[in-house]
Amino acid sequence: MQNFEYCNKTKIIFGRGTENQAGAETAQYAKKILLHHSGGSTVRSGLIGRVKESLKNAGVQWTELTGVQPNPRLSLVKEGIDIAKKENVELVLAVGGGSAIDSAKAIAVGARNDGDIWDFFERKRSTNSALPIGTILTIPAAGSESSISCVITNEEGPWKRGINFECNRPVFSIMNPEMSYTLPPYQTACGITDMLAHTMERYFTREPHVELTDELCEGVMRTIIRNARKIFSGGENNYDARAEIMWAGALAHNNLLSTGRVGDWASHALDHELSALFDLAHGAGLAIIFPAWIKYNIKEDTPRLARFAAKVWGVDGAFYDMEQAALEGVFRMENFFRSIGMPVRLSETNIDLSRIPEMAKRVVHFGPIGQYRKLDEKDAQAIYKLAAE
Amino acid sequence: MQNFEYCNKTKIIFGRGTENQAGAETAQYAKKILLHHSGGSTVRSGLIGRVKESLKNAGVQWTELTGVQPNPRLSLVKEGIDIAKKENVELVLAVGGGSAIDSAKAIAVGARNDGDIWDFFERKRSTNSALPIGTILTIPAAGSESSISCVITNEEGPWKRGINFECNRPVFSIMNPEMSYTLPPYQTACGITDMLAHTMERYFTREPHVELTDELCEGVMRTIIRNARKIFSGGENNYDARAEIMWAGALAHNNLLSTGRVGDWASHALDHELSALFDLAHGAGLAIIFPAWIKYNIKEDTPRLARFAAKVWGVDGAFYDMEQAALEGVFRMENFFRSIGMPVRLSETNIDLSRIPEMAKRVVHFGPIGQYRKLDEKDAQAIYKLAAE
């Protein structure tokens, strides 16, 4: 186990009706805020109406910026930064999923740091100053509601890049599982895949003696899988299943599961190229990449891959043949992804397979990726090819 | 799953050599502190010397109060409050286990609140103001290093009572597993029992649909049991086993495992009478009480007790006979406690069995105890009797 520091100060307010606490929570930090969301389902569901009512009752003023979309765009972030500065807002309140929250995080950084916001994503600058963020989560997926992560797409490129600044951790996050009832099944499935992937990125480590966090990761993954099956068997409005998924999504990415470990994160990098070039949903890309990544690494610490198959997917037989057990785990994972409507091959999407060499070149832009096994351009190309069809 | 709020702001600094960061961390909060510890093993091990060196290097001044003992005493707390006020200290730094930390917490409350500190423990007063607390943990057990709990023994009675104020959560906790190498086996075992008990108190709930936290609790308990066996099989200086135990002890009581659930806590109350009247170590008392508590409740949500036996103790057979499986779990738990040197019956200790009626009367001082099943004086007496021999 490695030495580590762990501190997560996000206040989680979880359960039915909690969106009505938005005003009171916000008022502890700000009198004037930027309210940031898609302007679509958040309005149609009546959620934004209730949030505004709550803000009004708490004496909080707001300026609104709508238009957030999946793979959130730099242009909207820049617009948000201008508004935040002009209006002197004191907090950014994101209502939505990871896209709204990440867009809000980038705005919060830009509002406190002059210059080109993209420089932070190009790793040219760092900061410990940002406006405070509050979130009202509607899509359990990214775990951005209690993480420091923020991923933005720069349309001029296109590039998809992330920053990780502690000052970007939300001060509060309101999570009402009922808000996820009306998600389209595809979005529910993408979210489930994303949170599984966040756990897998941490689970696949070469650090020995990380038993407690292994157990926690496995428990989180089993809970996600079991409750995903409930939701996709007619349980769209099953509060308890939606609640398990929503809380699991936050824990998958609040960094508790990383304590003492070194995660991998190559699969996230490999997926970012799919999202950037073809605007594929992040979860869908991960459902394609992860099985290929495991297959490519099947001889790298096979006992860990076999443990994953046994503990998470219920595969028996690891005592006879670890590699075979590990592969059976991949097979079951693919079946699970298919069962919730995710693609598991690039050929099932709009992705142009002839651009694999280009994607492999782009993904190592900052150097080799991954920690479980360092991957160079050739490795990346091989994994994209394994994922092809 | 119940609605909940969750926020734990303690900064954990975990691993080898981290005690040398004590000065730098403390300096963020205070120029002058109260350094609080036993004055025994903390000095002999050289730890206090290193901590003082670190404080000196960071320009932090200290006043020292030693003499903390297990089941920490109100008289020492009062002495600490007087010193803290007189010296205008700005933080209390506890070096030791739960006793040193709880003593420090009570001092921190008293330093900011005039009047009789015991009034808080008698539930006559509450507060949201206390000096900040820092801890350097040497005994993984109580989980007090990132919890709001504080339990003190009032020698005039004697009474053992607890307070739970958010302002008492440590601002930082330094955890170096090496500090636990030299613990006497009995203390290691008491600590292991205490952290298992903290998890069980949360695990035994009547709240349905708490799958994620069930999984997390079970993972924590399995990790504790497996690594306890390593330590008690010649692994006293096994860093990895000590590290798993130390981190598990914090997670067992930082309230993540309570999210969405209602814990029981009757067994802790039942043990407090043993500690208060006979100065029995907290862990030893819990090893005696918990098996009796489960036996007494064997018909109360038997499936949960059988799940505990299956998932934590590896008991097969629940599909044939849940009650029998649950009892087999208790049997294995008792064997485990015995294997690490814990008593499992009152008759193995110095406790006067003729005082059972008195203990049963005292334990319901504030009313019935427990949430899994409300226990009155008669129930308490029955459990003490089941635990007798």
Residue-wise pLDDT for A136-147, tens only, equals: 999 999 999 999
Q: Is A118 exposed, middle or buried (0-12, 13-18, 19+ CB in 10 A)?
A: buried
* ipTM for this prediction: 0.96
Mode of pairing for the β-strands spanning B4-14 and B172-175: parallel
Contact A260 B248 (CB under 8 A): no
**Could you tell me which residues come within 8 angstroms of residue B40 by beta carbon, excluding any fewer than 6 positions away?**
none
Residue A75, chain B, CB below 8 Å: the answer is no
Q: Of B16, B215, B251, which is closest to A3 when you measure between CB atoms?
A: B16
Q: What crossing angle do the helices spanning B211-231 and A239-251 adopt, rounded to 10°?
A: 50
Query: Which amino acid is it at A272?
Result: H
With CA atoms as reference, the chain B residue closest to A241 would be: B209
Query: Which amino acid is it at B139?
Result: I
Query: Quick check: helix, strand or coil at residue A35?
Result: strand
Tokens (6 digits) for B271: 């043990």
Contact A208 B14 (CB under 8 A): no
Tokens (6 digits) for A226: 């079991």
Neighbours of B338 (CB within 10 A): 13
Instruction: Give the span between the Cα atoms of A383 and B375, in whole angstroms.
Output: 60
Q: How far is B90 from chain A (nearest CA, A)?
A: 22
Residue A215, chain B, CB below 8 Å: the answer is yes
Contact A219 B223 (CB under 8 A): no
Query: In chain B, helix, strand, coil percent, each to 5?
Result: 55, 15, 35
What is the band of A12 on the pLDDT scale with cuts at 50, 70, 90? very high
Closest to B287 measured CA to CA, from B301, B311, B262, B270: B270
How confident is the model at residue A101, as a pLDDT?
A: 98
- The structure tokens 């990214």 sit at A142
How confident is the model at residue B128, as a pLDDT?
A: 97
Residues pairing with A92 in the sheet: A34, A133
What is the band of A91 on the pLDDT scale with cuts at 50, 70, 90? very high
pLDDT digits (tens, 9 = 90+) for A240-287: 999 999 999 999 999 999 999 999 999 999 999 999 899 899 999 999
Q: Which residue spans within A165-253 are E strands per DSSP?
A: 172-175
How confident is the model at residue A111, as a pLDDT?
A: 98
Instruction: Give the span between the Cα atoms of A345 and B341, in whole angstroms.
Output: 56
Instruction: Give the span between the Cα atoms of A328 and A317, in whole angstroms.
Output: 10
Residue B12, chain A, CB below 8 Å: the answer is yes
How confident is the model at residue B312, as a pLDDT?
A: 98
- The structure tokens 């286990």 sit at B97
pLDDT digits (tens, 9 = 90+) for A276-310: 899 899 999 999 999 999 999 999 999 999 999 99
How confident is the model at residue A94, as a pLDDT?
A: 98
Instruction: Give the span between the Cα atoms of B229 and B379, in whole angstroms.
Output: 33
| Stated pTM of the model | 0.96
Q: Which residues of chain B have pLDDT under 50?
A: none
Mode of pairing for the β-strands spanning B133-137 and B172-175: parallel
- The A residues from 170 to 209 touching B (CB cutoff 8 Å) are 208-209
Residue B44, chain A, CB below 8 Å: the answer is no
Cβ-contact A13, A21 below 8 angstroms: yes
How confident is the model at residue A114, as a pLDDT?
A: 97
Query: What is the overall mean pLDDT for chain B?
Result: 97
Instruction: Give the span between the Cα atoms of B348 and B342, in whole angstroms.
Output: 9
Mean pLDDT of the A222-235 span: 98
Cβ-contact B297, B305 below 8 angstroms: yes
Residue A259, chain B, CB below 8 Å: the answer is yes
Instruction: Give the span between the Cα atoms of B386 and B389, in whole angstroms.
Output: 7
Cβ-contact A11, A269 below 8 angstroms: no
Query: What is the overall mean pLDDT for chain A?
Result: 97
How confident is the model at residue B375, as a pLDDT?
A: 98
What is the band of A183 on the pLDDT scale with cuts at 50, 70, 90? very high
Tokens (6 digits) for B268: 């802790």
Please compute, for residue A41, the number of CA atoms within 13 A of its CA located in the half-sphere on the CB side. Answer: 17
Q: What is the DSSP letter of B147?
A: S
Residue A5, chain B, CB below 8 Å: the answer is yes
Phi and psi torsions of B134, nearest 5°: -120, 150
Contact B226 A244 (CB under 8 A): no
Q: Is B156 exposed, middle or buried (0-12, 13-18, 19+ CB in 10 A)?
A: exposed
What is the band of A116 on the pLDDT scale with cuts at 50, 70, 90? very high
Instruction: Give the span between the Cα atoms of B372 and A30, in whole angstroms.
Output: 41
